[in-house]
Structure 1
C-alpha cells in the first residue's frame, strides 16, 4: 500500500477501532512473551516497560474513541497533517488551464490589509467550473471554524470539499467557491468574530476577505452572491455578520452556534462577553446580539439555515429562540434539528451537506430550492 493509501484509511469506523484494540492486545502479549523468553523472569525494568507501553496504547485507544465520537479526524492523513491529495499551491492553481474532474483546494495567506488582523493561512476550494476561460464569476460561501480550531477543520471533520464535489458533480461542475478563513489568530483564542481583544476580526471577515477573494479568484462581488456559514463559534459568527453586514452576506448558515457572541459556553453568560469581548460596553454588545438586531428592523433580504442536534443543549436552546425570531424579522429560514445529535463534526458535516443545495440556490450557483426540511423539536 502506498503512503497516500495509508493516509486515506478511515479511522472513525468500528472496524478500525476494533482492529486497533486487537493490535494493542497483541503488542502487549508479544512484549510480555519476549521479556519472559529472553530474561526468564520479569525484572523491574521489564515491568516498567510493559506498564509504559500499555499506558501509551490505552491513551491512543481512548483518543481514537473520542475522535470517532466527535468525527474530527476522518483519516490517518488528517491526523498526520497531510494535505488533501488534490491540494495545490496558489500560484499553480492560478496558472492551471485544464478543467479537473473534481474541485481543487489551495492554502494561501489572506492578509488583513484594512484590519491589521494577523490571521493564519486560509483554505480555498474552487469547483471544476472555476477553471473555464474566461474565468466565471462564481458565488462564494465563507465557512468559519470554531474554537479551538483552524480553517482546515472544514476539510477534515467538516468534509466541505467532498460535499462541494458531490454538488458540483450533479450540477455540471458548478458549485460555490468555498473560502475558509481564520477567525481567531491562534488555536485556542475566541474572537467571536468581533473587533475586540483578539484583533479586528469583524473588519477582517467583512472587508479584507471579500476584497482578496474577489481580486485573486475573480469571484462574484459580495452581496446576493455571497453567503457565510459556520460551526459552533463560527455559526453564531455567521448569523451576527449577516445581520450587521447584509450588503456583504445575503445568506447565512448557523450550525450549532450560541445565541450570539459569548466568551463562555452558555447563552446566559452575557456579562463575561461584555467584559472580555466589548471592553465593558453593554451598548457594543447589544449592537452584536442577534436577538436585539432582529428586533430592531426586518431583514427581508436575508436567508438563513439553522441546524443543530437536540442533544446539544445550549446551541439547541439558541436555535429555539433565534429561528422564530429570524422568521419574525422577515428572514427566509430553514431549520433542521438532528435527533440525538451532539456538538460533533458528524452534525456539522451533515449540516453543511443538508444546507448546501439551498444556499447554492440562493447565491446563484444552482437552481433555487424552494422547500425546506421539516424541523423536529
Structure 2
C-alpha cells in the first residue's frame, strides 16, 4: 500500500512548473558557471574562447535549422512557435559549449562537461514541454491513468429534464455533489472493429444523482501523438466545467474522450481507411451508441459537441459537418486545414486505396459544402503565434458561414500551437456552449432574461476577455 502511494506521488509530480524545471536549469547553470570559472585563468582562456565560439555557432545554426523545419517547410504541418525555436536555439548553444568543453578539457572538467550534455538535453526538453503544456506530470509521460473503471460506479438512467432538475434543487429536494468523477472506460466497437485504447468519461455532479437530468454531451479528442488521458491531464476542462456546475445546480455536459488513433504514434485521419481501420465509424456509431445506452444524456444533436486540439481539432471539423445528425456543435483549437499524414497523393494511396473522392470527403471545407445549409455552431480557435492555424480557422470559418453555420473565431493572445491556446479557449467557450446547450437554468440564471439575450451576453463576455480576441 505504501509502495503504491509512493508511486502515485511520483507520477503526480508536476513537470511544467515549480521545482522540477527549476532544478534542471539550476544544475545546467551551475555546470556552465563552474566550467567557465575553472577556465577563466590565463592558461585556459583561449580554450574557453574557442568553446564559446563553438557554442555561438551551434546556437545560431541549430536555431536556424529549427526555424526552417518549423516555418520554412512546415514539416509538422504547424509552426512550432517563436518560444520553442528560442528554447531549442539556447539548447543547441549550451550543447555546443559542453561538447566542445568535453573535447578540449581533461580530468574533472571533461567529466563534468560530459555529464552536462544529457542534462542539457533533458532541461531543453522540459522547457519545450512547458511551452506546449503537453505533459503536465511524470505520470503523463507514460500515459499513467489512475482513474477507476466506470463499472465501479452505478449510473442511473432514470432521468428528469434539466428544468425539472433545477426546480428540484431550488426546492431543496436534491442536493448536487460538489465534484464530478473522472472514470476510465472500454468503449465497445461492434460496428467498426476499431482497436481503440481505453477512453475516459467525466461525469458532472448532476450525473451522479439517483435521478439525474438528461445532460448535453461533449466528445473531445486530444492531438497526435496523444491519448484520451492526455486530453484531461493537459486541459483545464474539468476545472472549467466544475466552476460552471457549482454555479448552475451541478449541471454541466458529460465529457467523453475516446481514442481516435489506436496508438500515440498513429494518425487514423479520423476516417475509415485501409491503414488503421474504421475510425470514423467508431466515432460516429460505436461511441455515440455506447454513450446513449450507458449515460444520462440528451438525444438532441443541438446538445452534442465534438471538439479537440490539433489533430483532434481537425477531426472535429471533419466529423461535425459530415454528421449533422449527431453533432450540433464543433469546438476546434489549432486544427489543420485537412487531415494530414504525408502528401495528399500518399494519403490517397496508403489510407484510401487510391480513392481520391474518399479523401476529399474528409476535407473540412468539402464536408461543409456537401452538407449545406446547416444551422450548426462552430467555435474555431488558434494561438496568435501559430500562423498556419490562424489561417486555417479563417478559411474553414468562412466556408462554415457560407454554409449557414453560427461561427465564432477566436485568436488566443501570446499563445502558439499549444495547450495554453486550448485552455484560454475553453475558459470562455465552455460556459458559452453550456448556455447554448440548455444548461443556463437554476442558480446561474441571468434574472428573467430570455434565451437570445443570455446568449448575446455570453458572446459579449467572450469578446471582452483579455486573453483572447474574437475575430469578426
* C-alpha distance in 2 between matches for 1:89 and 1:80: 19
What is the 5 A alignment of 1:309-324?
309-324=383-398
When normalised by structure 2's length, the TM-score is 0.68
Counterpart residue number, 1:162: 239
* C-alpha distance in 1 between matches for 2:144 and 2:293: 28
Counterpart residue number, 2:149: 89
Contact kept in structure 2, 1:263 and 1:276, CA below 8 Å: no
**Secondary structure at the counterpart of residue 389 of structure 2:** helix
* C-alpha distance in 2 between matches for 1:94 and 1:53: 53
Aligned-residue CA RMSD (Å): 3.0
Give CA deviations for 1:69-115 in whole Å, capped at 9, x if unaligned: 1112223454465546xx33312222699954211100111111110
Give CA deviations for 1:172-231 in whole Å, capped at 9, x if unaligned: 211100000000001111111100121101000011001111212232226222110011
When normalised by structure 1's length, the TM-score is 0.84
* C-alpha distance in 2 between matches for 1:160 and 1:311: 23
**Secondary structure at the counterpart of residue 302 of structure 2:** strand
What residue ranges of structure 2 are gaps of 5+ in the alignment? Answer: 35-105, 157-173, 442-453, 464-468
What residue ranges of structure 1 are gaps of 5+ in the alignment? Answer: 31-43
Counterpart residue number, 1:34: none
The reply on whether 1:257 has 2:331 as its aligned counterpart is no
The reply on whether 1:279 has 2:349 as its aligned counterpart is no
1:218 to 281, 288, 296: 296
Q: Structure 1 residues 186-195 or 5-14, which shifts more?
A: 5-14
1:259 CA displacement: 1.4
What is the 5 A alignment of 1:1-377?
9-13=13-17, 16-23=20-27, 50=112, 53-79=115-141, 81-83=143-145, 87-94=147-154, 100-196=177-273, 197-221=275-299, 223-264=301-342, 269-366=343-440, 369-370=455-456, 371=459, 373=463, 375-376=470-471
Contact kept in structure 2, 1:71 and 1:344, CA below 8 Å: yes
**Secondary structure at the counterpart of residue 249 of structure 1:** coil
Q: Which has a greater percent of helix?
A: 2
Contact kept in structure 2, 1:210 and 1:222, CA below 8 Å: no
**Secondary structure at the counterpart of residue 54 of structure 1:** helix
Counterpart residue number, 1:38: none
* C-alpha distance in 1 between matches for 2:426 and 2:31: 40
The count of aligned residue pairs is: 357
**Secondary structure at the counterpart of residue 332 of structure 2:** strand
1:136 CA displacement: 2.2
* C-alpha distance in 2 between matches for 1:65 and 1:49: 25
